[in-house]
């Protein structure tokens, strides 16, 4: 799984990539953390994208450091999903209301 943070957004500039990477590793979730200058989520910053080969990709916005637990839950469920989709989004907490795009794999 590849996770990309927007570095034009506050979260992407504030060291959150390291925080997220450490939290994912502590839970045994394998992910590559990357940065992009802009994810075009400017109307709902800070934004982050999740993608993996053959899976639906997701773009979330309006994120803060308080969303870390929900991002970890998403990463765990996404990693375990065969195609990147979920039968029930409620376990994602507030993150389910922060989705900006869902792109079929």
How many domains does one find in the chain? 1
Determine the 3-state secondary structure of 39 from DSSP: coil
**pLDDT tens per residue, range 48-100:** 999 999 999 999 999 999 999 999 999 999 999 999 999 899 999 999 999 99
CA nearest neighbour of 70 among 28, 20, 33, 32: 20
Q: Specify the pTM.
A: 0.94
Domain of 80, in residue numbers: 2-103
**pLDDT tens per residue, range 22-57:** 999 999 999 999 999 999 999 999 999 999 999 999
């Amino acid at each position: 799984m590849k996770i990309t943070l927007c570095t034009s957004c506050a979260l992407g500039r504030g060291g959150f990539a390291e925080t997220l990477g450490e939290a994912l590793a502590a839970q045994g979730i394998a992910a590559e953390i990357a940065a992009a200058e802009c994810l075009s989520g400017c109307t709902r910053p800070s934004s982050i994208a999740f993608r993996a080969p053959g899976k639906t990709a997701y773009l979330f916005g309006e994120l803060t450091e308080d969303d870390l637990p929900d991002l970890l839950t998403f990463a765990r469920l996404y990693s375990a999903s065969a195609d990147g989709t979920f039968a029930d989004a409620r376990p994602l907490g507030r993150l389910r209301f922060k989705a900006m795009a869902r792109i079929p794999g």
